[in-house]
């Protein structure tokens, strides 16, 4: 069965510093991987996805993610964090059948301090 | 183009009451799904649908029913509410497309419905 793990409940980083939010996955077959963000009291917004191709995927708001097949990881990164990046981040993997189902990780709260 | 619309945004129920959370999308997406979000648990899939007339269970289906009579609508029914169903519920839709289609497989979420069961 597909699964996703986000090993950190919370990540703290100072504004201007690089940030990384970690995600590891377990799938059968080729992975379809996603990152979503949820700002306080809001719905979820799509950031980026990896289907195939370049291991470094660029997305919205300056975020990027690095796909590493050997380590089964898909870490979210940003070179310079902003206070406004503070939010809850979810990693997800598409279920193996073509059903539109995504399996989500537990979420990681990113706190960026001025 | 409204995207995914959920109603109501907030609801308080008493144990044993029933209600329906409405979800509608105007993007002609074939896939629709319902998730619940609980602190520390992430998003858990309740039910999903791959097209009109076809539904299936997700990770946590007990206590919930769904139907999909049209492509646009995917209501979630709570038959007899329990305090354990206190949660925030999200409806989402997506389409398959080909690998090169930028929006394929990307879930579009509704704004959420916060349900409290007393």
| Lowest model confidence (mean pLDDT) among A37-41, A99-103, A109-113 | A99-103
B50 CA to centre of own chain: 13
Closest C-alpha to A35, from A44, A83, A26? A44
Per-residue confidence (pLDDT) for residue A62, from 0 to 100: 95
Nearest C-alpha in A relative to B55: A99
Closest C-alpha to A35, from A70, A87, A80? A87
For B12, other C-beta atoms within 10 Å of its C-beta total 11
- Decide if B42 and A104 are in contact by the 8 Å CB cutoff: yes
Per-residue pLDDT of chain B (118 residues; tens, 9 = 90+): 789 999 999 999 999 999 999 999 999 999 999 999 998 889 999 999 999 999 999 999 999 999 999 999 999 999 999 999 999 999 999 988 765 566 778 999 999 999 999 9
Per-residue confidence (pLDDT) for residue B101, from 0 to 100: 62
Exposure class string for A29-52: b at 16+ Cβ within 10 A, else e: eebbbbbbbbeeeebbebbbbbbe
- Decide if A43 and B112 are in contact by the 8 Å CB cutoff: yes
What are the pLDDT digits (tens) for A64-105? 999 999 999 999 999 999 999 999 999 999 877 777 789 999
Comparing CB atoms, the residue among A36, A100, A105 nearest residue B50 is A100
Closest C-alpha to A105, from A1, A36, A4? A4
- At residue A61, the 3 state secondary structure works out as helix
As a whole-number percent, the residues of chain A with pLDDT over 70 amount to 100
- Which residues of chain B from 15 to 54 reach within 8 Å of chain A, CB to CB? 30-33, 35, 40-45, 48, 50
Comparing CB atoms, the residue among A44, A49, A101 nearest residue B45 is A101
- Beta strands A10-14 and A108-113 are parallel
């Amino acid at each position: 069965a597909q699964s996703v793990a986000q090993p950190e409940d919370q990540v703290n980083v100072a504004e201007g510093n690089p940030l990384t939010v970690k995600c590891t996955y377990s799938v059968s077959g080729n992975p379809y991987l996603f990152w979503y963000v949820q700002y306080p009291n809001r719905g979820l917004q799509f950031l980026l996805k990896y289907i195939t191709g370049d291991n470094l995927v660029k997305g919205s708001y300056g975020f990027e993610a690095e796909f590493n097949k050997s380590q089964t990881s898909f870490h979210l990164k940003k070179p310079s964090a902003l206070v406004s990046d503070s939010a809850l981040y979810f990693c997800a993997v598409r279920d193996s059948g073509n059903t539109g189902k995504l399996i989500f990780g537990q979420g990681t709260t990113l706190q960026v301090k001025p | 183009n409204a995207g995914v619309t959920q109603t109501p945004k907030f609801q308080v129920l008493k144990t044993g009451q029933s209600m329906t959370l409405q979800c509608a999308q105007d993007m002609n997406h074939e896939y629709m799904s319902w998730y619940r979000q609980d602190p520390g648990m992430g998003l858990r899939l309740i039910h999903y649908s791959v097209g009109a007339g076809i539904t299936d269970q997700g990770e946590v289906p007990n206590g919930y029913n769904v139907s999909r009579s049209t492509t646009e609508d995917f209501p979630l029914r709570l038959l007899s509410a329990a305090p354990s169903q206190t949660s925030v519920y999200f409806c989402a839709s997506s389409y398959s497309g080909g690998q090169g289609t930028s929006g394929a497989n990307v879930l579009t979420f509704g704004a959420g419905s916060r349900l409290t069961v007393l």
